[in-house]
Amino acid sequence: MNLADYEAFAREHLDAPLFAHLDGGAGDERTLRANRAAWEALTLRPRVLVGVDDVTTATTVLGRTVKAPILAAPLGFQELVARGGAAATMRGAARAGVGAVAPTISRATPAELAAAAGGLHWFQLYCFRDRGITNELVAQAAAARYDALVVTVDGPVLGRRERALRAGWEAPTDLVVTATGLTVDELNRLVDPGLSWRDLEWLASFGLPLVLKGVLTREDARLAADHGVGAVIVSNHGGRQLDGVAASAEALPEVVDAVAGRLEVLVDGGVRRGIDIAAALALGARAVLVGRPVLWALAAAGEDGVAAALTLLREELATALALLGCRSPEDVTPAHVAWRPRPDTP
Ligand SMILES: Cc1cc2nc3c(=O)[nH]c(=O)nc-3n(C[C@H](O)[C@H](O)[C@H](O)COP(=O)(O)O)c2cc1C
């Protein structure tokens, strides 16, 4: 019926430590809870008698057409959830007509994941201390003709995910990221905490448009625009990095305002319903990314599950647009949404 059903299935069928790793967040999970609460704090303001007999969810993201403003988020370790994990997600997203971001942390190579993709596809990059490894990864992504390079910038060090630790989750030490020949364990120790704005020029030199994933402030949004970045993803890594940061829906308006149309803004974190996507569009997002639900769907039925879950979300968005009085994502405006007053405000 909906994405929550996939979650219930995954909770029941996956090993408890693995589920805790997928589901949990950092610290007290304040940000993880805030992500959902923020979407729920938005009320929609529908317009009537618009004439919505020809609604489309189709739009473009960085110039490329998608059937809906949705992308499967980059998710490490998908091979632990289902056989062929990340490749199955790329195929499932393609079948649903939405975009997909291939993760660095996968058994499949960038070329294999690109071959499994069928539409908009980006490659997510972790930058390593060893510039040789990073160079090799980006060169592979460029050769595989990804549409963009997504640099994850909210993980100079790993957040402490207590729920996963408590449940006894241990990252598999033997899962090799084929593209690098190193285990995940080795790579985690190699992520470069020294990455800075100066490195963007080098990353841009490979010729792929750059997308920064994990921007939460107007200050960084402006810097991103000044550095010629193509898009930013307003994201707190699904509440898995710095606990206590703003919910992504709360950070979205200030980022949209700061970039003033100079680049595209996407958002992720707690997007579970078509109405969440409609609200994101109203707040100025070009598209959303969906993280955990993809993993639940992968656990339930592999590629078919991902295709079905993302199609469901697309259909929910179509219904939401029609009921909002919008014929397409472009028709959604800031006037279609309002923040519910906080309970403690008089
Ligand atoms: C299990 C798991 C693994 C993830 N792995 C990565 C990753 O390798 N790279 C990355 O940039 N983000 C990663 N993320 C963050 C997601 O891309 C995305 O930002 C987040 O899941 C969105 O929130 P949601 O799960 O509430 O939809 C991961 C998230 C989860 C839950």
- Report the distance separating Cα 206 and Cα 202, nearest Å: 8
Q: Is residue 338 part of a domain?
A: no
Atom of ligand 1 nearest to the CA of 101: 17
For ligand 1, is residue 31 a contact (CB within 6 Å)? Answer: no
Taking residues 19-37, report their average pLDDT.
98
Quick check: 62 and 148 in contact, CB under 8 A? yes
Q: How confident is the model at residue 308 (pLDDT cuts 50, 70, 90)?
A: very high
Q: Is residue 151 part of a domain?
A: yes
Ligand 1 test: best mutation among 31, 81, 212, 292, most atoms within 8 Å of CB?
292
Q: How confident is the model at residue 346 (pLDDT cuts 50, 70, 90)?
A: low
For ligand 1, is residue 239 a contact (CB within 6 Å)? Answer: no
Residue-wise DSSP of 248-312: HHHHHHHHHHHHTTSSEEEEESS--SHHHHHHHHHTT-SEEEE-HHHHHHHHHHHHHHHHHHHHH
Q: Is residue 346 part of a domain?
A: no
| Total of domains in the chain | 1
User: Three-state DSSP class for 166?
Assistant: helix
What's the chain's average pLDDT? Answer: 95
CATH number at residue 62: 3.20.20.70
For ligand 1, is residue 124 a contact (CB within 6 Å)? Answer: yes
Q: Is residue 88 part of a domain?
A: yes
Taking residues 270-281, report their average pLDDT.
98
Q: Is residue 162 part of a domain?
A: yes
Q: Is residue 337 part of a domain?
A: no
Ligand 1 test: best mutation among 125, 240, 248, 310, most atoms within 8 Å of CB?
240
Structural domain boundaries enclosing 75: 3-332
Q: Is residue 345 part of a domain?
A: no
For ligand 1, is residue 291 a contact (CB within 6 Å)? Answer: yes
Q: How confident is the model at residue 1 (pLDDT cuts 50, 70, 90)?
A: very high
What pLDDT shows up at residue 186? 82
Nearest-5° angle of CA 84, CA 299, CA 314? 95
- Report the distance separating Cα 293 and Cα 73, nearest Å: 10
Quick check: 282 and 334 in contact, CB under 8 A? yes
Q: Is residue 343 part of a domain?
A: no
Q: What is the pTM of this model?
A: 0.97
For ligand 1, is residue 70 a contact (CB within 6 Å)? Answer: no
Give φ, ψ of 244 to 5 degrees.
100, -10
* Atom 20 of ligand 1, residue of closest alpha carbon: 238
What pLDDT shows up at residue 345? 59
Nearest-5° angle of CA 69, CA 75, CA 81? 115
